[in-house]
């Protein structure tokens, strides 16, 4: 009976502790100086951070409560404990214990290790200055300065990519609209795809410079900030669904309709511009009720799957279309009895042309690796693929387009006029 009462008392105490720490995260005497001085500049994620720490603390005390004598190790050991951020198991005397850094803060690297030393006397190591139990978290943010430099490099890489993409896309759209002989359904889809890239680049640049990089605005949390995020996510979805429209059109043209040209474009308009409104609206409503953080800037919520889920589905459908299109092309090339090398070269060329258009690279590289160096390489690759895709698509489907290249003289005249107009509007000093 006393054991049951003791267990009940422990349970009540744990629930009371969880209730209290909803308002303030209590640190045990084992909190070190680096923890106390940690700059929490991620104010929009403070609620998530607090909940993670409270959950880990509650689970740790549950684990301590379930401890029994038969689980104890033979010889002197340091007892299991909660140090304020992490839970530590019983550790043999004279040995260090390690575990991965927590993901509570943005400048903490979960791939690095935290160390806690159990001394020969079976006591946790005491810091010589504070004379309190101490856990070494210094490696968690050892590369913080380097991470900030990488973040700035990625920031400018994104701005340069969108700047080049906007320039090439505006030139491509001008060419498509200028030469009336290029008017057809395929070019019409290209125009809408290019226009979605233009809008996506514009809203991304605005979001990166005016919102995400402006902490004062995020703190004020105006309604216009959330509206801009809604528009950002909507245009983001439009970009991918116009990729899907291109995939559907090509698949219908090559595989289904046997090179039939005319299709009903109204359905493409509804899919490309209309459908992305649905997940964007659902996300906005759900975000306002269940995760209403400042400017909806945080990515630490599963509600983003409302946006990313349909996009991933569209990319998977495009992957199927790409594989089927390549299969049909290989079959048609075999009929022509060409050499095997030429056959595969054409198939590879067709694949490489379709990949940037349909966004298949996001399906081929869906998961971010865990290591710091490999994750940094992944970030650079994905930033180039994401922010320079408009430039790549404009280059392949306009500048290298055979239908456009048949007008070399007209192109020279058109580009000369554009250059003269630019010089008139931007005269040199």
Tens digit of each residue's pLDDT (9 = 90 or more) over 334-360: 776 666 546 555 555 655 676 776 776
Band (29; pLDDT cuts 50, 70, 90): very low
**Do 269 and 156 sit in the same domain of this protein?**
yes
Domain limits at 105?
2-117
Q: Residues 168, 268: one domain?
A: yes
> Which one has a higher pLDDT value, 413 or 400?
400
- Tell whether the model's pLDDT for residue 259 goes beyond 70: no
**268 domain-assigned:** yes
Pick the more confident residue, 128 or 333. Answer: 128
Domain identity same for 34 and 181: no
Residue 80 lies in a domain: yes
Residues 103 and 155 in one domain: no
Residues 279 and 183 in one domain: yes
Higher pLDDT, 344 or 99: 99
Average pLDDT value for residue range 366-393:
81
Residue 211: CATH number of its domain: 1.20.1070.10
Q: Is residue 228 domain-shared with residue 338, that is, in the same domain? A: yes
What's the pLDDT at 34?
36
**Per-residue confidence at 21, pLDDT binned at 50, 70, 90?**
very low
Could you tell me if 203 and 98 lie in one domain?
no
Whether the pLDDT of residue 8 is over 60: the answer is no
Is residue 331 a part of any domain in this protein?
yes
Residue 88 domain flag: yes
Residues 63 and 179 in one domain: no
pLDDT of residue 108: 81
Q: What is the mean pLDDT of residues 359-388?
A: 77
Same domain, 235 and 369: yes
How far apart, in whole angstroms, are the C-alpha atoms of residue 100 and residue 370? 12
Residue 129 within any structural domain of the chain: no
pLDDT at 41: 39
Q: Are 94 and 118 in contact (CB under 8 A)?
A: yes
pLDDT attached to residue 361: 66
Which residue bears the tokens 């046997």? 258
Mean pLDDT within 39-51: 57
In a domain, 122, yes or no: no
The whole-angstrom separation of Cα 43 and Cα 47 is 8
Q: How confident is the model at residue 413 (pLDDT cuts 50, 70, 90)?
A: low
Each residue's pLDDT tens digit, 212-250? 777 778 778 889 889 999 999 999 999 899 989 988 888
- Entry pTM: 0.65
Question: Residue 200, exposed/middle/buried by CB under 10 A (0-12, 13-18, 19+)?
Answer: buried
**Residue 326 has what pLDDT?**
81
Specify the number of domains making up the chain: 2
Question: Same structural domain for residues 181 and 77?
Answer: no
Asked if 108 and 159 sit in the same domain, the reply is no
Residue 39 near residue 46 (C-beta atoms within 8 A): no
Q: Is residue 137 part of a domain?
A: no
- Long-range contact set of residues 102-106: C-beta below 8 Å, sequence gap at least 24: 102/52, 102/56, 102/140, 103/52, 104/49, 104/52, 104/53, 105/38, 105/40, 105/42, 105/49, 105/141, 106/42, 106/45
Asked which of 21-35, 60-74, 370-384, 411-425 is least confident by mean pLDDT, the reply is 21-35
Quote the pLDDT of residue 230: 94
Determine the average pLDDT of the residues in 79-104. Answer: 88
Model pLDDT, residue 67: 67
Report, as an integer, the average pLDDT of 65-69: 66
With bands split at pLDDT 50, 70 and 90, how would you rate the model's confidence at 422? very low
Please say if the pLDDT value at position 283 is more than 80.
yes
289 plus 395 within the same structural domain: yes
Decide which of 427 and 243 is more confident.
243
The answer to whether position 107 is within a domain reads yes
């Amino acid at each position: 009976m006393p054991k049951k009462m003791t267990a009940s008392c422990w349970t009540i105490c744990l629930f009371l502790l969880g209730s209290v720490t909803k308002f303030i995260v209590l640190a045990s005497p084992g909190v070190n100086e680096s923890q106390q001085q940690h700059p929490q500049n991620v104010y929009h994620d403070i609620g998530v951070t607090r909940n993670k720490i409270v959950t880990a603390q509650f689970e740790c005390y549950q684990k301590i409560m379930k401890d029994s004598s038969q689980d104890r190790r033979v010889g002197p050991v340091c007892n299991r404990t909660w140090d304020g951020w992490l839970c530590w198991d019983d550790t043999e005397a004279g040995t260090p214990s390690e575990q991965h850094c927590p993901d509570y803060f943005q400048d903490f690297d979960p791939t690095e290790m935290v160390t806690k030393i159990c001394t020969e006397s079976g006591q946790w190591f005491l810091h010589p200055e504070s004379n309190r139990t101490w856990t070494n978290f210094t490696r968690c943010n050892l590369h913080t300065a380097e991470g900030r430099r990488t973040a700035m490099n990625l920031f400018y890489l994104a701005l340069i990519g969108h700047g080049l993409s906007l320039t090439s896309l505006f030139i491509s759209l001008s060419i498509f609209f200028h030469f009336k002989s290029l008017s057809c359904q395929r070019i019409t889809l290209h125009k809408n795809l290019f226009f979605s890239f233009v809008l996506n680049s514009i809203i991304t640049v605005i979001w990166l410079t005016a919102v995400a990089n402006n902490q004062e605005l995020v703190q004020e949390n105006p309604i216009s900030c959330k509206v801009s995020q809604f528009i950002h996510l909507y245009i983001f979805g439009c970009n991918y669904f116009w990729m899907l429209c291109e995939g559907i059109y090509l698949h219908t043209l090559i595989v289904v309709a046997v090179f039939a040209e005319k299709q009903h474009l109204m359905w493409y308009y509804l899919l490309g511009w209309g459908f992305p409104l649905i997940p964007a609206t659902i996300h906005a409503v759900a975000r306002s009720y269940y995760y209403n953080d400042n400017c909806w800037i945080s990515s630490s919520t599963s509600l983003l799957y409302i946006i990313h889920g349909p996009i991933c589905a569209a990319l998977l459908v495009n992957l199927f279309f790409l594989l089927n299109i390549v299969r049909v092309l290989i079959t048609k090339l075999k009929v022509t009895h060409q050499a095997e090398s030429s056959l595969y070269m054409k198939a590879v060329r067709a694949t490489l042309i379709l990949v940037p258009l349909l966004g298949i690279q996001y399906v081929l590289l869906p998961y971010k690796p865990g290591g710091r160096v490999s994750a940094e390489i992944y970030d650079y690759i994905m930033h180039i693929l994401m922010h320079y895709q408009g430039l790549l698509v404009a280059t392949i489907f306009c500048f290298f387009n055979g239908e456009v290249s048949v007008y070399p003289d007209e192109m020279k005249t058109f580009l000369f006029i554009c250059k003269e107009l630019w010089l008139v509007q931007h005269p040199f000093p």
